[in-house]
Chain A
C-alpha cells in the first residue's frame, strides 16, 4: 500500500466524529478531522447541551412558582428570556472550545470545510475539502463518515425561523410567544413543550400516534401525559397535521383527528418530527455504499460495503443518540486498530433520556415489545410516592418499571419517569451490560435514602418481594 497522509480521516466533528478522532489518536494513528460548521456537532452546539441549560432555567422557574410549600415566599419574579438563551449559548460555546482544546491536545489535525470523497486510483481513500476558496486533497487508509443529521421538514411545511421553528430557532427565542403548537411528541418535542409551558406559554402538542413519547413504555407515556395535561398542556394524540398557513403574527394549523378536521392557531409552531441524515454532497454515490431510508447501512463494526469507509452516529441507523454515536466511534476505531475481543453494540442496551419535567429514561424492551416477541416476562413497578427521598424532595410523581425474562432472569427493560431518572438509568445500563440477573440486583445494597432505592424496589416487585409498596 502506498503512503497515505493519514491513517484515518473523520468527516464530521460531532459526538461521534470527535470521539472517534481522539480514540484513534490515543491508539497511535495519525488522524484528520474535517468539520464544516462547529466542533461538537449539533449535540453540543444546538442539541443536547444547550437544551439542558434551557430546561435548567424552566426547572428553576417551576421551583420559584412552588417555593411556598417549602416555607418561602417570593414575589415580583421577573423573567428575562434573553438572559436565559444567552446562558444556554454560553454553555454551548464553552464546551465547543473545550472540544477544540481536546483535539489539539490529542494531536488531531482539524480542517474547516466541507469534505467529500473522491474516487482515486489507488486503494487509498481520497478526501477533498472545499474550504475558503481553495481545495485541499488528502489521502487516508480509512474514512469515518460522521456527518450526523438535521431536523426533518414536511412536504407542505418547512421551518422558516419566523413563525415556524425548527429546534434551532426554538432554542433562541427573541421574545417569549404567548402560544405555540409543537408537532411531534418525541424527546425534542416534549422537552420544548415542558420548557415553554413552565415559562408560561400555552402549548399544544400534536402527535400522530396514539400516545406521546411513542417509543416509551405505555405506562410511562401515560404518566407524562397526565402530568402535562394537569399543567395545562393541550395534548392531541392520534392527530395528523394536514396543512399550515403562516400569517404575519401567527400561524394556523389544520389538524385531523378521528376524521374530524380542526384548525388551531398559535403564535409559533415547532416542527419536531424526527431527523434526516446528512448524506448529500459527500460523493457517496461513487462508492459501494448502501443507503436505506436515508441512512447509511453498515455492518456490526460500522463498516460500509466499501472496504475502509465507515459510518457512525446519526448518519447511520438509529437510535439517533449522541452516546450511541460516541460509542460507535470508539468501537469502529478499535476495530480498525485490530483490537481483539470487541463486541458489536447491543442496541437493546442503549439508554434513552428525555429531560422534560418529569424526566423520562429507559433502556431495553417495553412491555409491549417484550410481549410481541412472545417473551415470558415478569414486570415490577414501583411508584416514587413510596420513596422517602422523593417525598422529601417534594417530587414524588413517577414510576420505575422493570421487565425481566422469566425464563432466565435477564433484565430486558427498565423504564422510568420521575425525579432525576436520567441520572439513575445508568444503574440499569451497567446491570444490562454485565448481564446481571434479578438475583444480583436484589442482593445489591442501595443506599438509603436515595431515589435509587426505587430501582431496587421495582426489581423486588417483579418477584413479588417489594418491601415499601
Chain B
C-alpha cells in the first residue's frame, strides 16, 4: 500500500497553507524523519518530515501553490517494492502553470484587450473562482428540478431537498417561491439539556455572508445623535391628515432621509467589486426585516424618486411578503445601501454588519428623550443615535462622516427632503 503524505497542520487553527518549497523530487528515496518540504502560513514556515521509508512516487502539489487545505494529499510515498502503476487512483495535479507562464498569458490578454479595460480577464480572480468551485459540494437535484430551477431562476444551493439523501425534487423547487424552505429546521436530537437543530439553508447563508463580510470588509463605525423632534412633529401632522388611509412610520422617513443623503453624497452609495468600485445612480435601499428563523433584507428600489407614501406602502408590502416567505429573489438580491433599525426594541445604539458587496449600513437606535445642551442650556429633546458601518475599501472616514452629517441635517430638518 502506498502512503499519502498529507498537508500537515502547523497550528491547531491552521486550515490551509502554502507549499513553499519541495526538498525532494519524484523518485527520491526517503527515510522516516527526512525533510521533504517547506510549508508556509501567514504565521510561520515549517518543514515537513517523511513519516515512512520509501520512494517519492508522485508530487501532487506543485511548489508555490497557495491555499493547500490541511489533510489534502501533497505527495504519494511508494513503499518497498511498489511502483507508480500500483497506485490506482492518483489525485490529478491541478494545472501547474508557472508564475512566468501566468504573466505571459496576462500580458497577452492585456495586449488583446488593451482597448477594453472591462473585459480584461483577471487571472487571479479566475483562479479564486476555480478554488471556490472545487470546495463546493455537489448539489443533488433531479434533472427536472434543475431545469425548473433554471427557468424560475432559483438558486439550488438554497433549496432543501426532500428526496433521498436530500436530493432536490421538482416539488421542492415549486414550493420554493417562498423562503420558508430556507428556514426549515430539522431537529436532530433532543434531550433535557439541549436540542440539536440542523441549520437551515437560510441560517447557513446568513452565517456565510456575515463571516465573509466581517472577514473581508474592514469595518469602521461612525455614530451620531440626531434630534428627531421636528421629524416626529411632521410625522404626526402627516398622519393626522391621513383619515386612517396611511400611517407613515419614523422608519419610512429614515429610509427617505438616507436616500436623499446618498444622492447628496454619492460616494457612500457604492459597492466593492474587487477590481472595481461600483457607484450607484439610484438608491435601492435594503431594509433588514426579522423573520421567523432569520432575517432578510427586502429592497425598496429607486427611493430617490419615491415619496413617503410610496415608500411606506412598499415597505409594508415587502415586510409582509418577507414574513410570509413570499419574497421573490429580485426583491431581496441587490440593493446599494442597507438600513437596520432596532429602535422598536428600545436599543439605544448598535453597530451593524455590512451586507456585502454594499459599502455601508446604517444602524438605527431608538428615539428617546434625553437631556441635551443647546447654547449652554440644558434642555430635553428626542434623540436618536445612528451608527454607520463602512467598508473602508469603498467608503473612507471622511465620506462616511459627510454622509452622516447630511443625514442628520435631513432628519433634523425634514422639510429639506421635499427639495
Please report A residues at the B interface, Cβ cutoff 8 Å: 340-341, 343, 407-410, 434-437, 439-440
Contacts and interface: CB of A to CB of B under 8 A. Distances in A.
B143 A437 contact: yes
Contacts of A340: 186
A434 B140 CA distance: 12
Contacts, number: 34
A436 B142 CA distance: 7
B151 interface: yes
A341 B170 contact: no
Given A436-B142, A436-B144, A437-B143, 10 more contacts: A407-B151, A408-B144, A408-B151, A410-B170, A434-B143, A435-B142, A435-B145, A435-B169, A437-B147, A439-B143
B64 to A, nearest CB: 42
Interface string B263-284: 0000000000000000000000
A439 B169 CA distance: 17
Contacts of A407: 151
Interface stretch (B159-167, B245-253, B374-382): B159-167
B162 A343 contact: yes
Contacts of A343: 162-163, 169
Contacts of B186: 340
Nearest to B141: A435
Contact of A410 (B144, B162, B163, B164): B144
Nearest to A410: B144
Contacts of B165: 341
A435 B165 CA distance: 15
A279 B20 CA distance: 77
Given A340-B186, A408-B151, A410-B170, A435 B162 contact: no
Which among B148, B166, B170 has the highest number of chain A CB atoms within 10 Å? B148
Contacts of B144: 408-410, 435-437
Which among A340, A341, A436 has the highest number of chain B CB atoms within 10 Å? A341
Nearest to A343: B162
B162 A440 contact: no
Interface in B118-154: 142-145, 147-148, 151
A331 B279 CA distance: 56
A408 B147 contact: yes
Contacts of B148: 408
Give the 3 A-B residue pairs with the shortest CB-CB distance, closest first.
A435-B142, A435-B144, A437-B143
A435 B162 CA distance: 13
Contact of A409 (B147, B163, B169): B147
Contacts of A439: 143
Nearest to B188: A340
Contacts of B166: 341
Interface string B172-189: 000000000000001000
10 contacts: A343-B163, A408-B151, A409-B147, A435-B142, A435-B145, A435-B169, A436-B142, A436-B144, A439-B143, A440-B143
Nearest to B186: A340
Contacts of A434: 142-143
A341 B151 contact: no
Given A408-B148, A410-B170, A436 B143 contact: yes
B170 to A, nearest CB: 5
A408 B148 CA distance: 6
Given A434-B142, A435-B169, A341 B147 contact: no
A242 to B, nearest CB: 47
A28 to B, nearest CB: 19
Nearest to B152: A408
B33 to A, nearest CB: 49
A341 B145 contact: no
A408 B173 CA distance: 12
Nearest to B170: A435
A434 B145 CA distance: 10
A269 B311 CA distance: 76
Contacts of A440: 143
Interface string B367-399: 000000000000000000000000000000000
A354 to B, nearest CB: 28
A65 to B, nearest CB: 46
A340 B142 CA distance: 19
A401 B143 CA distance: 22
Contacts of B145: 435
A440 B147 CA distance: 12
A343 to B, nearest CB: 6
A408 B151 CA distance: 8
Contacts of B169: 343, 435
A389 to B, nearest CB: 28
